[in-house]
């Protein structure tokens, strides 16, 4: 079976993709500097998969380390998650974001080229579409950036397009995620934000656990069914399945693709609060406050291209997302993993 390198494989989406790849029969090697991952993630991955985990602790900007990984393993393809990801923080630290996200990709691509590994899946984001009224968003929507973070994702995509155009031996999968949420069904891995979360689901999770007192809903006067913002939430296990399909397609066909990974269905803030309240068994308190700068009414994916090109379809519901998130943050292990 093919061997895949996951940069950032100890992080939120990377760890779920690790499990998906191992379950699909791939050999997987993780490279992560653990700047945004807990040290015990590899042990948790071993517990879920029942197999030893190969981890290199180090930086994707460390070319010598990358050369060593490619020399020690016959890698068939790379899934590149390692990046800084906080949109707000990127406006304060643009150089760090460009250095890690663009510099990291360039270092990785050079090392891959030298090792003759030319299959890569790139973590991109719906943020490359900017603020748009066109909903659901198709992949050929123009790209524009409103933050240094979005700039790094667009620059990554453009760089990969140049590499593919110049050398047909390369095959690239660009995956534009919408709003990944939820956790693995084992409740052993999930999202673990160190700081005050900016996104709705991790914030709700902290209200549910009592770490934060109340939720703030930014605006209820949008042109949506209940007036609150509508987003396309996708279960992180569905997202992981999308990566397994993407790397498999690159290895099998050698054809590049750029697709949205979303459900195509929007849920409002109040829908999510209701579903989470149901999952955790109590009505979560919230206040309606004014709109937040830069928020748009609706952001949803056109999901058909991922279905047609990769055979990808998100299977899990908003209820699954909230239940798995609650099980993770409240520490409920699934029955088969209980000691
Ligand atoms: N979570 C989202 O909502 C979302 C949405 C769209 C795109 N993305 C992208 O998906 C990818 C994964 O996101 P995530 O939510 O799992 O984030 P995450 O922070 O949980 O995972 C990123 C991982 O990369 C590691 N890392 C960071 N810098 C590194 C470096 N220089 N060298 C080696 N490892 C490094 C971190 O320790 C972490 O384990 C990122 O590229 C992110 O931009 C995330």
* Dist CA 129 CA 142 (whole Å): 6
Mean pLDDT calculated for residue range 67-85 = 98
pLDDT band at 336 (very low <50, low <70, confident <90, very high): low
* Dist CA 40 CA 47 (whole Å): 11
DSSP 3-state of 62: coil
pLDDT > 70: percent of the chain: 99
- Which residue(s) pair with 180 in the sheet? 234
pLDDT exceeds 70 at position 58: yes
**Which of 97, 149, 177, 222 is an active site residue?**
149
- Which domains can be identified in the chain, with CATH numbers? 3-183+233-262 (3.40.50.720)
Cα-to-centroid distance, 92 and ligand 1 (Å): 18
More confident residue, 138 or 334: 138
* Pair of tokens at residue 99: 């250095």
Strands of the sheet with 267-268, listed across from one edge: 267-268, 230-231, 298-299
Q: What is the pLDDT of residues 186-199, one digit of tens each?
A: 999 999 877 777 88
pLDDT band at 81 (very low <50, low <70, confident <90, very high): very high
5, 7, 9, 12: residue to mutate for ligand 1 pocket, most atoms within 8 A of CB: 12
pLDDT of residue 333: 73
DSSP 3-state of 292: coil
Chain centre distance of CA 310:
17
* Dist CA 65 CA 63 (whole Å): 5
pLDDT of residue 90: 94
Note if 149 is an active site residue: yes
The H or E element spanning position 201 is helix 200-209
pLDDT exceeds 70 at position 338: no
């Amino acid at each position: 079976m093919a061997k895949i390198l996951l940069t950032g494989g100890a992080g939120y989406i990377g760890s779920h993709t690790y499990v998906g790849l191992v379950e699909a029969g791939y050999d997987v090697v993780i490279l992560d500097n653990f700047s945004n991952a807990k040290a015990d993630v590899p042990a948790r991955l071993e517990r879920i998969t029942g197999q030893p985990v190969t981890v290199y602790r180090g930086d994707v900007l460390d070319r010598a380390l990358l050369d060593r990984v490619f020399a020690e393993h016959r890698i068939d393809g790379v899934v590149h998650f390692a990046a800084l990801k906080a949109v707000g923080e990127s406006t304060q630290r643009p150089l760090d974001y460009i250095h890690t996200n663009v510099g990291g990709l360039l270092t990785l691509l050079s090392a891959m080229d030298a090792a003759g590994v030319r299959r890569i899946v790139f973590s991109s984001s719906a943020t490359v579409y900017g603020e748009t009224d066109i909903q659901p968003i198709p992949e050929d929507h123009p790209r524009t950036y409103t933050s240094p973070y979005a700039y790094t994702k667009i620059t990554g995509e453009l760089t990969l397009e140049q590499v593919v155009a110049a050398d047909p031996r390369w095959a690239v999968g660009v995956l534009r995620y919408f709003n990944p949420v939820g956790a693995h069904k084992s409740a052993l891995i999930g999202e673990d934000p160190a700081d005050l979360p900016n996104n709705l689901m991790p914030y709700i999770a902290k209200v549910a656990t009592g770490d934060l007192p109340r939720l703030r809903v930014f605006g209820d006067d949008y042109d949506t069914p209940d007036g609150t913002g509508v987003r396309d939430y996708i279960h992180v296990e569905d997202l992981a399945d999308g990566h397994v399909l993407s790397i498999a397609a690159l290895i099998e066909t050698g054809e590049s693709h750029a697709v949205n990974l979303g459900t195509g269905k929007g849920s409002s803030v109040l829908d999510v609060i209701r579903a989470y309240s149901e999952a955790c068994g109590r009505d979560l308190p919230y206040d309606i406050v004014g709109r937040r700068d830069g928020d748009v009414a609706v952001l949803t994916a056109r999901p058909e291209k991922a279905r047609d090109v990769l055979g990808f379809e998100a299977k899990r519901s908003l209820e699954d997302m909230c239940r798995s998130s609650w099980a993770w943050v409240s520490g409920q292990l699934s029955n088969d993993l209980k000691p």
